[in-house]
Structures are given as structure tokens and as C-alpha cells.
Amino acid sequence: MFSVLLPLLLTAALLLLPRLLHNRRHPTAGAPPGSCGPPLIGETIQFLAAANSTSGFYDFVRIRRLRHGKWFKTSVFGETHVFLSSTESARAILTNGSGKFTKKYIKSIAALVGDRSLLCASPQHHRLLRARLLSFFSSNSLASFIKHFDHLIITTLNSWQDGTVVLLDEALKITLRAMCKMLLSLEEGDEIVQLEGAVAQICEAMLAFPLNLPTTRFCKGLQARQRITGTLDKVISDRRRGIGAKQEDFLHHLMACHAGLNRLTDAEIKDNILTMIIAGQDTTASAITWMVKYLSENQEVLEKLKVEQLQLANKTPKGALLTFEDFNEMLYASKVVKESLRMASVVPWLPRLVLQDCELEGYMIKKGWNVNIDARSVHLDPNIYDDPHRFDPSRFEVSRPYSFLAFGMGGRTCLGMNMAKAMMLVFLHRLVTTYK
Ligand code: HEM
């Protein structure tokens, strides 16, 4: 009996050896830790409770990260979500060399920004659309944008001379006006005021439960979208009749040059203009607000920044607006911007849908799950950033790949990244050279 069993056991051991060795190297192979809660409901209630609390929805992630470590699994709105926070996973998922991950089509987002938005396009169409939109964000467009933005900031800061301001509210107004100018050449007037209210309603609806009943936040967001589409229809038809046709703005760029098969339809133009406003206004305004908070708490950094910016101001002719070239003199300010973005992590995680079962860092990930790169955790990881809660712009003398995720990475990197940085730099310059 033993003589029959021994060869069988040896053969089985040889066959299993590679697997055993693999499991030794990846001792945790299996699903990531974490609780998916009761069927269907999962941890949705806890997620909504965090989203409606003063701590904000990231608290849901923070608590589980402390409980389970760098990787955890949960279930929200009936779907499995894995949160992960290593630079290795960020690279694998965001560069997506294996083609196993994609941005998910979310019906409620499509209803709000429009299903022709690049946020909702299939991967192939996304590439085309992105290339088309990206061509507008050249250094030429940026150079003229900087002048307009600088003018806007000077006027706004002059209006603050007396009294107190709520910075986030002001920053939201500034960024909306800047984007309307750049995208549509819209400046002061009723249209801007209407857009301001409507854009805020869409942003709120994006975070709300997608229930389309009168009085719900989602329904108000859909109505706001219709109002914005109406305004865009009017601007587009004015352009076709030659009104404002000379404006070298984003709309002009989208309408003008592309005849034939690659021409963008009006629906694509409208949905993507709305997408830019939604993606760029709130994020940049929050980043500016956080940056001012960090500076006010770190006098040494503020002093060093002032020295650099006053030097630049003294070189510039009186009354001249900032130029693209001036950014070359803002080396320390650029680090202040980057450090603010790291500490604030305005977009706290980057979600992707898993297209095939796969293994990442020893964990099994199933097709249909959502993987979320927890950018905030990466930004605050003491193994990546020394003393991560200290506001220290000079830490960016050196940087590790995939450790700075404020604008994402790979094929879905933020389209407005350079514009956002430009807005933050101009704001910084005028703030520290105007106010004590
Ligand atoms: C400080 C300000 C900003 C931050 C922190 C920010 C952050 C981000 C991040 C993290 C992503 C990638 C999301 C992902 O990979 O899932 C993204 C994408 C995007 N951002 Fe920004 N953004 C900012 C400003 C802007 C501005 C000013 C614009 C427009 C002018 C803009 C337009 C977009 C668009 C269109 C996308 C989608 C790109 C695509 O899917 O191909 N963003 N942004």
C-alpha cells in the first residue's frame, strides 16, 4: 500500500511545488481583506453616512484603511470595490499595459454631463476625442489664458480691499469665470450668474443618490444640465451666424477646423464643454483654498515664497500682466503648488473597472470589480514621503515614480493639468505680492 502511495505523493508534491513557492512569495493570495457587509446593502449605509458627515466621504476609506491595511475590499451600492494604495498598483492600473482595466461608464454621470462626454466614451472613442480636446491645451492657448486669468485675479483681489471674504466661495467664482472665458469667451453678465448656479447643482447631483424624483438633488442636477445646454445652444448658434466668431476660444477651436469624418457633433461639443467646466472649476477652487490654508499655517514657507515672488514683481514693468515665461522664475512657487496638491489630494481616489480576473500584488481581483487607487493614502505614506503631514515644498527636489497622483497618470491624466497649475501660480503670485 505504502509503495503505491509514495510515488503518488511525490508526483503530487512535484506538481504542487511551483504553486507552493508562488504562494510563499505571495502569502496573501486570495481576496483582499475587508468586509462586504450584508448582501446587496453591503457597506452602503456607512458610505452614505460618511459622505453626509462633516468629515466627508473619504473618512469611509480612511477608517477601513486603518483597520485592514494598504488593501481592502468593500461593497457599496451593490458593487465590490477594492481600495489599494501602493505605487506599484498605481502603475499597473493607470498605465494599463495589460488592458485589464478601464474607466467605467456610469449612467448617472452620463445623464448629468452628457453621454458624448469623454468621461463616458468607449476606450477607442476616448482616445480620438481626447486627442482632439488636448490639442487646445497647447502652450499658445495657455499663454493667452494666463493673461486673462491674471487680469481677473487682479480685479478680484482689488475688490477684496475691505471686509472679509469666504475664500472657497471666491475661488469658485474666479475659476468659473476663468473657464467660461477660456472655453466660450463669456465674461460678466447674466449668463455667467446662471451658469454659476447650474454648475453647482450638477456638482451636488454627482454626489447624490441618482433618484430622479421632483425635489431630489439628482433631479435638480438634470434640470440644471438642461439650462446649461440651452445656453450652449445659443452660443453655438450665435457663432454660426457670425456673432463672436473671431474669438480664439475652446468653442471656436472645436467648431472651426474639423470638417469630414472627424468632425465633432454639436452634442459632443456641448457635453465636453460642460465636462471641462465640471472637472475644472470645483477641483481648482478647492486646491487654491487648501494652498492658502497651508501657507497661512507655515510662515517660513510663506516668507521664502514672498522673497521669490517679490523678486519677480520687481523685475516686471509696473502694470504688466504675467506671462508664460514668468513661470520659469517661479521654481519655489511651483513646489508650493505641488505640495499643496499632495497634501490636499483634491481627487482622493482614482476608480477603474476590472475587465479580466487578475492578480495584483498577490491578491486575486475579479472581473467586474472596481479598483480604486487611493491617491490620498499614497500621498500620505511615510515610506514614500518623509514626515508626510509636514507642509514642505522643498521635498520635491526629488520624486519617486507614481507617488504624485494629484492629476492621475496614464491615458486618463487630467486634461486641464497645466491650466490648473497656471491658475494656482498666478493666484499665488498676486496674493503674496498684494497682501501682507
Ligand atoms: C487642481 C485642479 C485639478 C485637479 C486636482 C484635477 C484632477 C484630475 C484627476 C486626478 C483626473 C484623473 C481621474 C482618473 O484618472 O480617474 C482628472 C481628469 C480630468 N480633468 Fe482634471 N483636475 C484639475 C483641474 C482640471 C481642469 C482645470 C480641467 C479643465 C480645463 C480638468 C479637466 C479634466 C478632464 C476633462 C479629465 C478627464 C480626462 C480623461 O478622462 O481623459 N481638470 N483631473
DSSP structure string for 76-140:
ETTEEEEEE--HHHHHHHHH-TTS-EEPPP-HHHHHHH-TTSTTTS-HHHHHHHHHHHHTTSSHH
User: What percent of the chain lies above the pLDDT cut of 70?
Assistant: 92
- In angstroms, the CA 393 to CA 335 distance is 5
Which residue among 127, 283, 294, 349 has the greatest number of ligand 1 atoms within 8 angstroms of its CB, and so is best to mutate?
Answer: 283
Q: Is the CB of 117 under 6 A from ligand 1?
A: no
Residue 381's pLDDT is 96
Residue 262's pLDDT is 67
Residue 17's pLDDT is 43
pTM of the model: 0.91
- Residue 120 labeled ligand binder: no
Q: Which residues pair with 102 in a beta bridge?
A: 353
**Contact in structure between 194 and 227 (CB atoms under 8 Å):** yes
**Contact in structure between 34 and 70 (CB atoms under 8 Å):** no
Kindly give the distance from the C-alpha atom of residue 334 to the centroid of ligand 1, in angstroms, as a whole number: 18
274-295 pLDDT, tens digit each: 999 999 999 999 999 999 999 9
Closest-lying ligand 1 atom to the alpha carbon of residue 182: 30
Q: Is the CB of 120 under 6 A from ligand 1?
A: no
Q: Is the CB of 153 under 6 A from ligand 1?
A: no
Q: Is the CB of 406 under 6 A from ligand 1?
A: yes
Closest-lying ligand 1 atom to the alpha carbon of residue 405: 10
Q: Is the CB of 93 under 6 A from ligand 1?
A: no
Residue 20's pLDDT is 40
Please list the ranges in the chain whose pLDDT falls under 50.
1-6, 8-28
Which residue among 180, 407, 425 has the greatest number of ligand 1 atoms within 8 angstroms of its CB, and so is best to mutate?
Answer: 407
Q: Is the CB of 410 under 6 A from ligand 1?
A: no
Kindly give the distance from the C-alpha atom of residue 104 to the centroid of ligand 1, in angstroms, as a whole number: 16
Q: In 3D, which of 135, 125, 106 has the Cα closest to residue 268? A: 125
